[in-house]
A and B are shown apart, each in its own frame.
Chain A
């Protein structure tokens, strides 16, 4: 690299740093103005919501239009001139989805220590990316991951298989993002879910259609800044209010101590004999790991909740578990250290094998920058993941301290507000005393449907009368006009207990509540809530953007240009790339509109599949010269088959398991199979030809001449 090009790079970097500096200041300024207008001029919340929505979407569209391009290099790999720091921010936004932003803290709130498998899994994968993949993929320097698989394992079969995998993984992932966009729009701007989906997708398209990866990258940088600012503000105020110290990441140790104390005082953490394994004592609570202390109903519900909100696919225990000492896994849902470790491993290995993250390292100028860039990526992701446990702990502390034990008549206003949105419900029967018959809240209706509560308007006045509170008639098992198995002394006493804090359906709050309610708990104005929504929207849109580029390039570049018609003109390739982005967006919208539950589960499975296919194959491609095409194909197929087999078996019948590992961690069984098959088949067949050996040697050398690399189709490296 000549001196002039490296100084040109630093001029470019400084210019972009200045732009984004102005952007950040401008954004904060506008937020402050909105805040002042709300406080002093009483600006209506509806208008504030729309201003934030239009402002941020308009900004993304502007960056998209400014970055429009006709160069294929810029369209697929942003011209390979994205400085390491900015690629780090873009990767952060690309990686962190609506689930990371809104639901992760809530999952930690619900399942305590066990949720940390996600925190470690989704960050630890970047170490693998940095050490094993990023520098070599950058050195290879083409456009897509199937490009690498095809070139290294010599053939279109491997390339097409990889392209199809990339499409399946990314399409399910993007669908979940589009659902997230629709929900955020619905909640904060009050538009219909379907309209929200269409609005959000058009925002994504304006940006990615004209400018491809170049536009996506520079939009993601802006989106990262918005999402991280939005995530930090509420929790900082929450921390200041609860502990008097404005650094939540350090201050939540105090919250953990208070949680431990309050759980003890409220009898939530006491040891009890397992209903499933006699003589085995279990503890529950926020800090102790691998809880099995949840009773069957709440375990089922918590699992369903996690699955729905978090894109996970934990298996709920069967309803009405029959205690069976020989088959403990059939009873209460419980974590095991092995399940925790397997899940964490699959998330780490899958992270390092996801195509939309891997291609981000094609966009930096050099191998050296690619190494730094992974560091920046994880640093920017870390800022959010490091903070999520603080959100969860403050929220749990606040609920144990300031909600549990209160009379239902004096609940804080935020519980009522988010209750209307269906994220929380206080399930004490006194809340329905005097409510008109037929107007009961959803949770009561559910209990009536389930047959555990009967309502009988005995005096015919049209409202439910509870009679004397905290008093259940022993003979009839009734309190006033309600009766049934769900009616107990505790459930009618008008005092909130931890177990009574749930949602309209089932116990356990909605995972989204923790982050979304933080501004209200801290008593912050609506503007901060709108900022939070803008952040969630940025997280969902940025991830969708990156995924659409992967899908479009897999179809237009790998399948069409590389396999079907290698003589296609540059113009045809560009046109096809652009139209495939529209097609992919339309497919994502069609998949998102029915809001299938299966989509969220498929996203979680994608990690296991990536861990058992892309991860070992790319790894061998770089680190083992002897690995060849037949070995790679056998490994990918074998890994996939075993993973899917365990997944399916355990999903349909949780009794089928090894060491209590659920289908979520099934990649842990597929991976060794892929490794063994790849090694055995490679050794049993011919060594790869000389030019492939040369390719591997060149991958490992950070500066070999670009002509050598160009032989493998890398026509677009910058000239030095």
Chain B
């Protein structure tokens, strides 16, 4: 595979943006699944109790929050790698 850094600038920008968009869509799908979907099934989830926490309640009060925090840090990490791959990180100025 050719080095993405050596591609013409326009092609590089296009591929970089494509990969970024794909990452955004995946992360948004996870975001939606942990925050919106459990609300619709909260009664069923509440029948599962872990360490005293009914799961439906837990997803709203803590579970989804933990996922949100991890997602944002992951995005920052993944984008730094993507910047490097396409020669678009601060070092490549």
Chain A positions near chain B (C-beta within 8 angstroms): 1, 6, 108, 113, 116-117, 119-120, 123-124, 126-128, 130-132, 135, 249-250, 252-257, 287-289, 337, 340-341, 344-345, 348, 366, 368, 371-372, 374-375, 378-379, 382, 385-386, 389, 697, 700-703, 720
Name the A residues within 8 Å of B73 (CB-CB): 372, 375, 379
A382 engages B61 (CB within 8 Å)? no
B36 engages A341 (CB within 8 Å)? yes
Name the A residues within 8 Å of B65 (CB-CB): 119-120, 123, 382, 385-386
Name the B residues within 8 Å of A249 (CB-CB): 62
Distance between Cα atoms of A495 and B20 in the complex (Å): 63
A256 engages B52 (CB within 8 Å)? yes
B56 engages A703 (CB within 8 Å)? no
B46 engages A288 (CB within 8 Å)? yes
14 residue pairs A–B, Cβ–Cβ below 8 Å: A1-B90, A120-B60, A123-B65, A131-B27, A368-B76, A368-B80, A368-B83, A368-B90, A382-B68, A382-B69, A389-B61, A702-B88, A703-B92, A703-B93
A379 engages B60 (CB within 8 Å)? no
Distance between Cα atoms of A6 and B91 in the complex (Å): 10
Knowing A124-B68, A386-B62, the reply to whether A703 touches B88 (Cβ < 8 A) is yes
- Main SS of the interface on chain A? helix
A700 engages B60 (CB within 8 Å)? no
Name the B residues within 8 Å of A255 (CB-CB): 52
B60 engages A119 (CB within 8 Å)? yes
Distance between Cα atoms of A386 and B66 in the complex (Å): 9
Knowing A116-B60, A287-B54, the reply to whether A344 touches B90 (Cβ < 8 A) is no
**CB-nearest residue of chain B to A374:** B72
A130 engages B72 (CB within 8 Å)? yes
B24 engages A366 (CB within 8 Å)? no
Distance between Cα atoms of A116 and B45 in the complex (Å): 15
B72 engages A120 (CB within 8 Å)? no
Name the A residues within 8 Å of B89 (CB-CB): 368, 702-703
Q: List which B71-92 residues lie within 8 A (CB) of chain A.
A: 71-73, 75-76, 79-80, 83, 88-92
B75 engages A378 (CB within 8 Å)? no
B60 CB → nearest A CB, Å:
3
A124 engages B57 (CB within 8 Å)? no
B40 CB → nearest A CB, Å:
6
B61 CB → nearest A CB, Å:
4
B71 engages A127 (CB within 8 Å)? yes
Distance between Cα atoms of A462 and B77 in the complex (Å): 75
A123 engages B68 (CB within 8 Å)? yes
A124 engages B35 (CB within 8 Å)? yes
Beyond A119-B61, A289-B56, A374-B76, 4 additional pairs, beta carbon < 8 A: A116-B57, A371-B75, A389-B61, A701-B88
Distance between Cα atoms of A379 and B68 in the complex (Å): 9
Choose from B31, B64, B72, B90 the contact partner of A703 (Cβ within 8 Å). Answer: B90
Distance between Cα atoms of A385 and B61 in the complex (Å): 8
**CB-nearest residue of chain A to B41:** A337
Name the A residues within 8 Å of B71 (CB-CB): 127, 130
Choose from A117, A124, A368 the contact partner of B31 (Cβ within 8 Å). Answer: A124
Choose from B24, B52, B54, B72 the contact partner of A375 (Cβ within 8 Å). Answer: B72
B62 CB → nearest A CB, Å:
6
A127 engages B31 (CB within 8 Å)? yes
Q: Residue B1 at the A interface, CB < 8 A?
A: no
Distance between Cα atoms of A371 and B83 in the complex (Å): 12
A124 engages B64 (CB within 8 Å)? yes
**CB-nearest residue of chain B to A697:** B13
A392 CB → nearest B CB, Å:
9
Name the B residues within 8 Å of A253 (CB-CB): 50-53
Name the A residues within 8 Å of B61 (CB-CB): 108, 116, 119, 389
Choose from B13, B36, B68, B90 the contact partner of A700 (Cβ within 8 Å). Answer: B13
B39 engages A341 (CB within 8 Å)? yes
Choose from B20, B35, B62, B75 the contact partner of A130 (Cβ within 8 Å). Answer: B75
Name the B residues within 8 Å of A337 (CB-CB): 39-40, 42
B68 engages A127 (CB within 8 Å)? yes
Knowing A123-B65, A124-B31, the reply to whether A375 touches B40 (Cβ < 8 A) is no
